[in-house]
Amino acid sequence: MFGFGKKKNEEFVGNDASVSEDIQNIEEENFDENNQVEEVAEPEKKKGFFKRLKEGLTKSRNSFAESFANLFKANEIDDDFYDELEETLVTADLGVETTEKIIDDLKVKVKELKIKEAEACKQLIVNIIRDQMSVDDTAYDFEDKKTVVLVIGVNGVGKTTSIGKLAAQYKKRGKKVLMAAADTFRAAAIDQLKTWSVRAGVDIIAQGEGADPSAVVYDAVSAAKSRNTDILLIDTAGRLHNKKNLMDELGKMRRVISREYPEANVESLIVLDGTTGQNALEQARQFSSVTEINGIIITKLDGTAKGGIAIAIQSELNVPVKYIGIGEQVDDLQKFDPTNYVNALFADFDVKSDIEIIIDSDIEKIEPDDDNFDI
Ligand SMILES: Nc1nc2c(ncn2[C@@H]2O[C@H](COP(=O)(O)OP(=O)(O)OP(=O)(O)O)[C@@H](O)[C@H]2O)c(=O)[nH]1
Ligand SMILES: [Mg+2]
């Protein structure tokens, strides 16, 4: 029987250890008799997610939107125009490979549609970029299955914070959620997740600092099975792909999950810090060469005026960005919506008229010789 009913001070013995005294304390201190978590004060009502994302991505005068707008001051579509476009896209963290793809695509369309003026390329570029980022319909199926979400990534990218936010959101949607503190390197890491467990109102499985992460995973999986948990979120230590022992440890955790809980779906999410640009892309590339990755969480998009990294990752790795983070509060993480993202990225490109781009998916269906072609 799973040990949440254990008495305080009960010793941990090997894999039987299910819950620590600290966790009991958290539950007793923060849950009333109806097992409801105490309200934790949220800051004043904030603006909507899209608005804040847009503000984050366009707040600097050197933002992508600003440089993009400047591109169209020149009228002709010549080599200079393409060079400038290339520079703008690369500087915005889209990377060389993705930029080349976009420009090649654009050249074909400009020819097909017989476009002569740079201005007329705006919407085409936006559409091409959006199409680099399509997220498959099945990307979020895991949320409705019995799932173990393994959250990985290098130090400080936002793994623990993202787990806290996801846990709170899943719980709000009526899911039975459990967290596991498999980052046992530092006591502070375990405490940080405990704080989030209180805030999100979900239970946590943890052992002491230095415990074997796979033993924590074992406990968590047993607990998830016996409690009929919908989503088990596992926090792991920040690791580098080239640290063999750490990567082996990750492999061990995955083996424990598939051996002990074969009926569960495993969703492996890598967290990347959006402010680190091409480094983030490199991390994703390296991790995916040693372990399976089902999706990406890009955090800290409130701290960059670039934002192209989300496009580069989708287009180069073929792994979907599933969530993006734009701050440290519970609702600052949301599902990734390519259309919204592109709209936020380009929102202020027409600074004079303050017109937002409305993505028109029909634009490419317009006949090349249509005299009314106008964007
Ligand atoms: N501005 C901003 N800060 C964030 C975001 N996500 C996480 N952070 C902050 O980034 C810092 C690191 O986040 P953690 O969740 O501790 O990162 P981690 O990957 O668990 O770190 P390690 O456990 O040390 O590997 C914290 O101060 C978070 O509050 C975000 O979307 N925006
Ligand atoms: Mg952490």
Q: What pLDDT, in 10s, does the model give residues 188-227?
A: 999 999 999 999 999 999 999 999 999 999 999 999 999 9
Any atom of ligand 1 within 6 Å of the Cβ of 299: yes
**What is the pTM assigned to this prediction?**
0.81
SS3 58: helix
CB neighbour list of residue 231: distance below 8 Å, 6 or more residues apart: 143, 147, 149, 170, 175, 176, 177, 178
Q: Which atom of ligand 1 is nearest to the CA of 183?
A: 23
User: 202 alpha carbon to ligand 2 midpoint, in Å?
Assistant: 17
Any atom of ligand 1 within 6 Å of the Cβ of 156: yes
Any atom of ligand 1 within 6 Å of the Cβ of 158: yes
Phi, psi values for residue 89, rounded to 5°: -70, -40
Any atom of ligand 1 within 6 Å of the Cβ of 3: no
- Residues 282-309 have pLDDT tens digits of 999 989 888 899 999 999 998 887 888 9
- Per-residue confidence band for 162, with pLDDT thresholds at 50, 70 and 90: very high
Query: Quick one: pLDDT at residue 133?
Result: 81
Q: Which amino acid residue places its CA nearest to atom 21 of ligand 1?
A: 156
**Surface-to-core class of residue 375, CB atoms within 10 Å of its CB (0-12 exposed, 13-18 middle, 19+ buried):** middle
CB atoms within 10 A of CB 229: 22
One-letter identity of residue 193: L
Structural tokens at position 85: 């476009």
Q: How far is CA 51 from its chain centroid?
A: 18
Q: Which amino acid residue places its CA nearest to atom 8 of ligand 1?
A: 158
What is the number of the ligand closest to the CA of 156?
1
CB atoms within 10 A of CB 5: 9
Structural tokens at position 365: 């269906």
Q: Which amino acid residue places its CA nearest to atom 6 of ligand 1?
A: 158
Structural tokens at position 29: 């201190």
Any atom of ligand 1 within 6 Å of the Cβ of 188: no
One-letter identity of residue 70: N
Kindly state the DSSP code that residue 40 receives in the 8-state scheme: P
Question: How far apart (Å, rounded) are the C-alpha atoms in residues 338 and 225?
Answer: 35
Q: Which atom of ligand 1 is nearest to the CA of 324?
A: 31
Render the burial of 256-273: b for 16+ CB within 10 Å, e for the rest: bbeebbeebbbbbbbbbb
Least confident of 26-40, 67-81, 162-176, 274-288: 26-40
Any atom of ligand 1 within 6 Å of the Cβ of 169: no
Render the burial of 97-124: b for 16+ CB within 10 Å, e for the rest: ebbebbbebbeebbeebebeebebbbbb
What is the number of the ligand closest to the CA of 154?
1
- Per-residue confidence band for 347, with pLDDT thresholds at 50, 70 and 90: low
Q: Which amino acid residue places its CA nearest to atom 29 of ligand 1?
A: 328
Any atom of ligand 1 within 6 Å of the Cβ of 189: yes
